[in-house]
Chains A and B, each alone.
Chain A
Amino acid sequence: MSAPAVCARVALIGFALAACQKPIKPGDPLRDLTRAERESFDSGRVTFDAVFTPETGLGPLFNSASCGECHEDPAAGGIGDEVELHASAFRAPVCDPLVGEGGFVIQLHTTPALKTALGIDSEPFPPSATGRALRTTPVLFGRGLLDLVPDSAILSYADPDDRNGDGISGRPNHFVDGRLGRFGRKGLVPRLDEFNDGAFSAEMGITSPAVPTEETVGGKPIPAGVDPVPEPEINQTALDRTNAFVRLLAPPTPLKANKAAKRGRQLFQDAGCTGCHIPTLTTGASPVAALSRKAFAAYTDLLVHDMGPELADICLGDATAAEFRTEPLIGLRVKHDFMHDGRDTTLEAAIRSHGGEGKGARDGFLRLSAEEQAALVAFLKTL
């Protein structure tokens, strides 16, 4: 048998095996994990779903009592119905994340002890803020893959001066220490582990070896006696387990596309959506084979784009009030509210909300016939 014929048979067998694989559901781990990796994933899910109390470190300021409270639907790592409040101040020429006033995440709940001490139900809104923002909880599926996309790949999509004239001028955001960011709606945070470690503090008031100090109350220290649990309130093992769980959460297998959805995939490209929602990204090398050098359906460029004045809320890092990181469309079908603040309840409305650099694609969508628009949305609902 000739070599091409052998290759063709091997490919056919590969496709057949892939077709036989059970679809990955939201909340499932990546395929082909080692036994140890699978055990890390399973033990991490326990920590992810653990509910903290003031006696185990919760607060005194917090947004939720567990990771799973905000990432629960339809499975651990999914979305939640919580909407949180962020704030920052633009002081030309830089953005102030208001760390001196408690930071840009405004915790919306307090423990009974803090309420008794200060008489507050939430962190005070920073008086010098120049902007406020609402943030829905994102899905966490596939974030381990996004974490491993090389910086160089992200930068290859940047076109800050729109030299190719396509109306899209994405650029990277940077963390406070200058590293390239990618996580968060403003693309501020460089690494997935850091995003998770920071969330223990900013979202739950849980100190850890990575973040050993408590949040302040509007910039003022926590009153004495309010938080009796010694720092750190969780150990490195708990952090590592949680990070392993999030890192190994798989992107759900897209639903089987019907004829309309298949057409919609092409229309998604034709309308210009793929100018920012890059369909496929590839990870770099990783000691976790299931994450290493994998091409995956990301639908993001991990850059921030000016989305126009209608969507603008707060600056963060280098990102202006109007700039947002292209939302990955992994697991889009589980979402009920769309855009960074959940303003839209349908995908059609979300597309219509795109302005600024997204205006070209939005207009491309609006130029489609009703049938074509439905096809494009049908495609998105398979993701």
Chain B
Amino acid sequence: MWRPIGAAVNGKGRPMTHHPALLVLLLTFTQPTHTATRTAQMYQGTVHAIQAHPAGLDLVTGVGFALRLVHMRTLPTTSVDSAGTTIPLGHVKPGDVVRADCRMTETGLVADHIEKLGPQRSRETP
């Protein structure tokens, strides 16, 4: 089973499996959560830019060669952690790989929680 984790997880993904028994199990256990978090979206990607005013960040996500920028606002209540430790948002830099739990609001995407997964591992020097 595969689901693109670089894109929003909003219940519109591809069929999870063709195995009937597993499909029934998955439907049984995922359906309530799905309904409860209909507007929740998870993005995992590389930080492209961070804005101070208004606070937000741009994430590079996508599928294959089709990459997209996703903009999300951050709030004072947005929690950020790395390896289980709370860190300031300022410790997130362009090039970091993060997972952002977001919700769609009338004014756009808002990040409730950001987890820093690690930096890109480029070794090129300028």
Known A-B contacts A177-B97, A197-B63, A210-B7; A99 and B48 likewise in contact (beta carbons under 8 Å): yes
CB distance from B126 to the nearest CB of A (A): 4
Asked if residues B44 and A177 are in contact (CB atoms below 8 Å), the reply is yes
Selected interface stretch from B80-88, B103-111, B114-122: B114-122
- Quote the shortest CB–CB distance from A168 to chain B (angstroms): 16
> Is the beta-carbon distance between A236 and B95 smaller than 8 angstroms?
no
B44 cross-chain contacts in A, Cβ below 8 A: 177-178
12 inter-chain pairs at a CB distance below 8 angstroms, sorted by A residue, are A90-B124, A90-B126, A93-B120, A94-B46, A177-B46, A177-B61, A178-B117, A198-B63, A211-B64, A315-B124, A317-B120, A318-B121
Q: Specify which chain A residues have a CB less than 8 angstroms from the CB of B19 in the assembled complex.
A: 287
Taking Cβ atoms with an 8 Å cutoff, the residues of A that contact B are 90-97, 99-100, 103-105, 171, 174-179, 183-184, 188-189, 191, 193-203, 209-211, 213, 215, 236, 239-240, 287, 315, 317-318, 320-321
The number of chain B residues with a CB under 8 A from chain A is 38
Chain B residues contacting A94 (CB-CB under 8 Å) are 46, 94-95, 120, 122
**Bound CA span A201–B97, Å:** 24
B60 & A176 in contact (Cβ 8 Å cutoff): yes
Which of A90, A202, A236 makes the CB contact (< 8 A) with B66? A202
Determine if A198 and B94 form an interchain contact, defined as CB atoms under 8 angstroms apart.
Answer: no
Residues on B with C-beta less than 8 A from A103 are 65-67
A95 partner residues in chain B, CB cutoff 8 A? 120, 122, 124
Most chain A Cβ neighbours within 10 Å, of B5, B64, B117, B118:
B64
Since A94-B95, A174-B121 are in contact, a sample of 4 more A-B pairs with Cβ atoms closer than 8 Å, ordered by chain A residue number, is A91-B94, A94-B94, A95-B122, A318-B121
B56 near A: Cβ within 8 Å?
Answer: no
Interface residues of B in 12-67 (CB under 8 A from A): 12-15, 18-19, 44-46, 48, 58, 60-67
Q: Are B67 and A210 in contact (CB under 8 A)?
A: no
Closest beta carbon of chain B to A147's beta carbon, Å: 10
Bound Cα distance A169, B92 (Å)? 29
Residues in A whose Cβ lies below 8 Å from that of B7: 210
> Which 10 residue pairs across A and B have the least CB separation, nearest first?
A198-B64, A94-B95, A201-B66, A198-B66, A178-B97, A320-B124, A202-B65, A177-B44, A177-B6, A92-B126
In the bound complex, residues from chain B placing their C-beta under 8 Å from that of A178 are 44, 97, 117-118
B46 to chain A, nearest CB (A): 4
**A194, B13: Cα distance in complex, Å:** 13
Are A320 and B123 CB-contacts (below 8 A) given A178-B44, A210-B7, A210-B14? Answer: yes
B68 contacts partner chain A, Cβ-Cβ < 8 Å: yes
- B65 near A199 with CB under 8 A, answer yes
Q: Chain B's interface: helix, strand, loop or mixed, by majority?
A: loop
Chain B CB within 10 Å, residue with most, of A97, A171, A196: A97
Smallest distance from the beta carbon of A204 to chain B beta carbons, Å?
11
A191 touches B122 (CB 8 A): no
Would you call B14 and A240 a contact (CB within 8 A)? Answer: yes
Cross-interface CB contact of A211 among B13, B63, B117, cutoff 8 Å: B63
Q: Is the beta-carbon distance between A176 and B64 smaller than 8 angstroms?
A: no
Asked whether A93 and B48 contact (CB < 8 A) given A103-B66, A194-B4, the answer is no
Tell me which residues across on chain A come within 8 A of B5, comparing CB atoms.
177, 179
B15 near A193 (CB under 8 angstroms)?
Answer: no
B69 at the interface (CB under 8 A from A): yes
